[in-house]
Every structure is written in structure tokens, then in C-alpha cells.
Amino acid sequence: MYDRKTIRRRRAVLALLVVSSVVLLTASFGGNGGVGSVQRGVFEIVSPIQDVASRSLKPFRDLFGWFGDTWHAKGDNKTLVKTRDQLREQNGSLQAEVRKLKEQYGINRVIATANIGNLGPVEARVVVASPTLLFQKVTINKGAGDGVRSGQPVVTAGGLVGKVDVVVGGSATVTLITDPRFGAGVRLAQSGITGTMTASGGDPEDLIVATTKQNAPVSVGSTVVTRGTSTDVRLPSLFPPDIPIGKVTTVDDAGTDTQRVHVKPFVDVRNLDHVMVLTRDAATVP
């Protein structure tokens, strides 16, 4: 245990330290006297050292600052790249929607031009394209459950695509106008000359029309449309009248009984997406 003398000695030392601290603080705040001179002296000695140290450390501070800025810049770049990718995706979706709306508008114009009577349009999407170079068939995502039946016309924004062939519950195959087995009665819109259209059998951009009138004048650039039902009601046409097909490009053996009219179709069967099936009321289907 400590004796009383030791305790008194420690208390005296503590009191002395407190008094000395008060005196030094008072002198320091006063800014005068020996303490102030000592402070100024110390500052004069230390200040050049601090300046040299600051200059020496500046490259290291700049280097750490560069690393910090680079780190933040990389983070900002990742954010910008992510935003850019999101905008690209949104732009792609908007462009796809615009294309669909344009196709829909074109299809509606074709339907409005044609005399479809009691046919009801059913929108469909091409899900399987023809694997052959002749582009003879495609598969659509609508079938018997949607009112689609064999033989019904199929159109798109450009005009006639073909006709429905095989139908199942939720899909159907469509025979295209470029199939050599396809045929349709047609009419030249400007002159009214009629004929039968078939595929050339090797070129998806070339259809052949054999006219029925000798010396019938056919002009290059004339529009070819479907003829529709003939006067013989026993053989009604599968296609309503006035569906656009294409334009006349050349005429072989013009003015003869065997003249052949070459027609470039409006529809590019190699790039089909959305189409419309002109369906009949189920009650009228045999």
C-alpha cells in the first residue's frame, strides 16, 4: 500500500502540471512572450520541411487520385454501357413494332381494295419458311381452331401470298404463288385483259400469265390482280377479285395466241413474317 507521503507527493506533482498547463495556454493565446517566440521559432524551422515533404508527396497523391478517378470512371462506363444496351434493346423492340404496324397497315389496304365479301381476315405469323430454293411453302401459326380451312387465300402487305394447303389444329401450311402447281385466274387492272397465272418453276421473282385473247395489248408496268369468281358459278374462284399480285416486266411473243406475260410479284416470298388468311364462315364451308 502507498503511504501518505507518497500520495501527497503525487498530488503536488499533479497540481504543478495543471498550473503549468494553464500558464502555457494563457501565454499561447496571448501571442506574446517567450512561448510565442518559441512557437514562431519552431514554425520557421518546421515550415520548410513541411513544404519539401508536401512537394515530395504530391506525385503519390496525384497517383492515388488518378487510381480513384479511374475506378470511378470504370464504374460510370459500366453504367453507361448497361444503359446503352437497354436503349438498343428498346429501340429494336420499337422498330419491330413499327414494322408490324406497317405490315398490318399494308394488309388492311390490300383487304380494303379487294372485294372479300363475307371472308373474315385471320392474322397469322410465319413460323417455318420453305427449305427449298423455289420457296414453295411456309407454315403459319393458325389452324383449324382459328377457322382456317384448306384452299383459303393468304395475303400480306404486298398482295397475294398463296393459299392454305394442309390444316391441323393450331397451324397450317401455305402453298405460295411461286409453287409450280399454283394457279389463279388474273386480270390486268388497266386493260381488263384476263388470263391464268402460274409460277415459272425456277425464279421466285417471275410469274407467267397466259392471256386468253389473241392480239390482246399488254403493256409493261401494268398491274396484275386476281380475277375473282368467273361468270360460271359452278366453278367459283378461290380468290376474291382485285387482290394485287404484281407488275408486268416483259412479254414473250407479243400479239400472238401464245404470248406469255412475265410478272414480278409484289410479295417477296423469301421474307414473309405476318400474313392474313381470308377465312370463310364455318357454316358456309362444305
Measured distance CA(142)–CA(171) in Å, rounded: 4
**Which pLDDT belongs to residue 78?**
76
Query: Are 194 and 229 in contact, with CB atoms under 8 Å apart?
Result: no
Count of Cβ atoms closer than 10 Å to residue 10 Cβ: 11
Q: Which pLDDT score is estimated for 90?
A: 75
- Structure confidence at residue 161 (pLDDT): 93
Per-residue pLDDT of the chain (286 residues; tens, 9 = 90+): 556 676 677 666 666 665 665 555 555 555 555 545 555 554 555 455 555 556 665 676 666 667 666 767 666 777 777 787 777 777 776 666 656 665 665 666 666 666 666 677 888 999 988 656 556 899 999 999 999 999 999 999 889 999 999 999 899 999 999 888 898 999 998 888 888 999 887 788 899 998 766 667 888 999 999 988 644 445 567 888 889 999 999 988 887 777 889 999 999 888 888 899 998 654 343 3
pTM: predicted TM-score of the whole model, two decimal places: 0.60
Half-sphere exposure of 279 (CA within 13 A, CB side): 21
Share of the chain residues as helix, strand and coil, in percent rounded to the nearest 5: 40, 25, 35
